[in-house]
Structure 1
Amino acid sequence: MSAVSSPSGKPPWLRAKAPQRAGSVQQLLRDLGLNTVCEEASCPNLGECFANGTATFLIMGPACTRACPYCDIDFTKRPLPLDPTEPLRVAKAVQRLGLRHAVITSVNRDDLPDGGASQFVACITEIRRRLPRTTIEVLIPDLCGNWQALEQILAARPTVLNHNTETVPRLYRRVRPQGNYERSLRLLELARQWDPGLYTKSGVMLGLGETAEEILQVMQDLRRVGCDILTLGQYLAPSPKHLPVERYVTPEEFDHWRQVGEELGFLQVVSSPLTRSSYHAEAVQELMRRYPKRGSPAESVLPS
């Protein structure tokens, strides 16, 4: 495996597609007053996804209560009270975009007793009411270890529950100072135990200084808690004020980790320099057809 160390400029494989025909999606989002993680976190795939008529909704934001030094979401503003109209507006956007698979994430809301679990539930409920055949993926924060709040989200029966591990344990203090590696693993483990029909998912950024042994250990830990789907992508510093990129990982190494993940038993491994948590997330529907789970919310909506 090889990598470009001490990067002074992005290698050619990190050139994302320029935005094309993205205006209609952006206008819809503005009309409905919605935020997306695509825009707030400066995702390199924004142009491609918006051009394809899809987006990942960012609820309860855009102000975050955590100051993770790798993330471009604003943490300097005071979080606003939850908007009771937001779930309906999200559902309307899903309907107008014609999404067969909706992805909802959020900022961290450590100021709320339930971490915002009730808003996730309301969004799932509104989408299901309008679009019962749309599968729903939620990318949730760690809820500060409030497992009753997690159970509340699981009771709403999302199709996929995603919670990103982000990096290796050794780097948590630097990369996720308000996070906890074991807590993130425990969240995924409990989700699997409480709802065996659920598909669980996690993502890891590479290029922050982790070793090959540490990457493998995280993958093994995620399989130990029953994680089904893994995404691996290159960390890109949003600005000079954020954590620097320690190395640019080659496409060949990403392919190596995809193969390792498949050998470990993940049902799906999406691994490439530009992979992000919700990149081509709709492909999970094919996964559900190949690996159906008894009692999954997808069981009654996906055509055989």
Structure 2
Amino acid sequence: MTQKPEAKKDLHVNKPKWLKTKIPTGSTYFDIKRDLRKKQLYTVCEEAKCPNISECWATNTATFMILGDTCTRACRFCNVKTGNPQGWLDDNEPKKTAESVKLMKLRYAVLTMVDRDDLEDGGAAHVARVFDEIRKTSPDCRLEFLGGDFQAKDDSLARILEAMPEVFAHNIETIERLTPRVRDARSTYRRSLAVLKRVKELANYQVFTKSAIMLGLGESKDEVVQSLKDLRDHNVDFITMGQYMRPSKRHLSIKEFVEPEVFEDLKGIAYDLGFLGVASSPLVRSSYRAGDLYDQALESLKQKG
């Protein structure tokens, strides 16, 4: 999977054909976008320019980023700005997010967040309030949480689990060897695995856990397979794998554009290892068809009896 030494093209510019995306289309996409603008509401799907936006919105799935736009960590692949929000919170955010979910008639919503190490609980209480508000106005909507490691604090993890999200997601992002180069020094590979395992130990209900890996940062296929095994050893249910795309020339460079056949092969390996839901292709992002993975897992468990 590593790039040949003689290939010195600017991989930020020269994308292969399988990474060319279509302009979002479909009446559902435009209807939702119009309604959101009327109420000055926004989704991370739009702000991150997700290539799968119309596909996900057509299945009544969307992602929202809460707790502000400033992260207290500085991962080298991420385009979110870094700083210290100094305890800032938007008290209206729970209601605004719930309003968006209701307006979009979502059957599945993903809440993601920046790391908030400036808050004692990492923002857990605020996350729970957002979930609770959504439950009030959209009781049939399934909820997935995608967050940081909360410094592996049991109290913070337990507070989020009190809101009973159907899925708790936390991304390891890359293989163990590359983690110090790719992620913030506080975001270690082993801590992330431990948090994913601890979530299930703390939950008093059936919660699915989920993680994600970016490819194209210089990892080998064997290293990716080892990461999949590590995740399964920590009882992780879902995995998504997609191509790393460099946000700007200030960020980590792309070492390789991984071919679709490799993603398909890794998908089969992941299922063989026991994952209940797998999304693996170049354009896949953490929340890609999240509701479908959840439904797939329920069906798989039902068949197993």
- Fold conserved between structures, TM > 0.5: yes
Aligned equivalents of 2:287, 2:115: Cα separation in 1 = 17
AA partner of residue 125 (structure 1): D
Is the deviation greater in 112-121 or in 256-265? 112-121
> 1:213-272 CA deviation, whole Å, 9 max, x = no partner?
211111001000100000000000011111110000000000000000000000111100
Is the deviation greater in 200-209 or in 75-84? 75-84
> 1:38-72 CA deviation, whole Å, 9 max, x = no partner?
34444333454457664310001112222212111
1:247 aligns to what SS in structure 2?
A: coil
Aligned equivalents of 2:44, 2:183: Cα separation in 1 = 18
Aligned equivalents of 2:193, 2:157: Cα separation in 1 = 13
Aligned length: 293
Contact 2:75 2:182 (C-alpha < 8 Å) held by counterparts: yes
| Residue matched to 2:296 | 287
Aligned equivalents of 2:140, 2:273: Cα separation in 1 = 32
Give 1:36-51 correspondences, 5 Å limit. Answer: 36-46=43-53, 48-49=55-56
1:84 to 83, 91, 109: 91
| Residue matched to 1:302 | none
2:210 aligns to what SS in structure 1?
A: strand
1:205 aligns to what SS in structure 2?
A: strand
Aligned equivalents of 2:222, 2:266: Cα separation in 1 = 12
Is the deviation greater in 248-257 or in 178-187? 178-187
User: What TM-score do you get using the length of structure 1 for normalisation?
Assistant: 0.88
| Residue matched to 2:23 | 18
Q: Which runs of 5+ in 2 are unaligned?
A: none
Is the deviation greater in 28-37 or in 167-176? 28-37
| Residue matched to 1:301 | none
Contact 1:40 1:73 (C-alpha < 8 Å) held by counterparts: no
The structural deviation recorded for 1:24 is 4.5
| Residue matched to 1:124 | 131
Contact 1:17 1:47 (C-alpha < 8 Å) held by counterparts: no
The structural deviation recorded for 1:19 is 2.8
| Residue matched to 2:279 | 270
Aligned equivalents of 2:273, 2:91: Cα separation in 1 = 42
Give 1:127-138 correspondences, 5 Å limit. Answer: 127-138=134-145
Flag the 1:199–1:139 CA change in 2: closer, same or farther, 3 A.
same
Contact 2:132 2:163 (C-alpha < 8 Å) held by counterparts: yes
AA partner of residue 15 (structure 1): K
Give 1:11-160 correspondences, 5 Å limit. Answer: 11-20=16-25, 22=29, 24-32=31-39, 34-46=41-53, 48-49=55-56, 54-75=61-82, 78=85, 81-160=88-167
Aligned equivalents of 1:93, 1:150: Cα separation in 2 = 25
Contact 1:142 1:183 (C-alpha < 8 Å) held by counterparts: yes
AA partner of residue 113 (structure 1): E
Give 1:182-197 correspondences, 5 Å limit. Answer: 182-195=190-203, 197=206
Flag the 1:203–1:63 CA change in 2: closer, same or farther, 3 A.
same
Q: Does 1:261 align with 2:270?
A: yes
Give 1:181-260 correspondences, 5 Å limit. Answer: 181-195=189-203, 197-260=206-269
User: What TM-score do you get using the length of structure 2 for normalisation?
Assistant: 0.88
Contact 1:25 1:54 (C-alpha < 8 Å) held by counterparts: no
| Residue matched to 2:175 | 168
| Residue matched to 1:298 | none
1:157 aligns to what SS in structure 2?
A: coil
The structural deviation recorded for 1:155 is 1.7
AA partner of residue 181 (structure 1): Y
Is the deviation greater in 46-55 or in 266-275? 46-55
1:276 aligns to what SS in structure 2?
A: coil
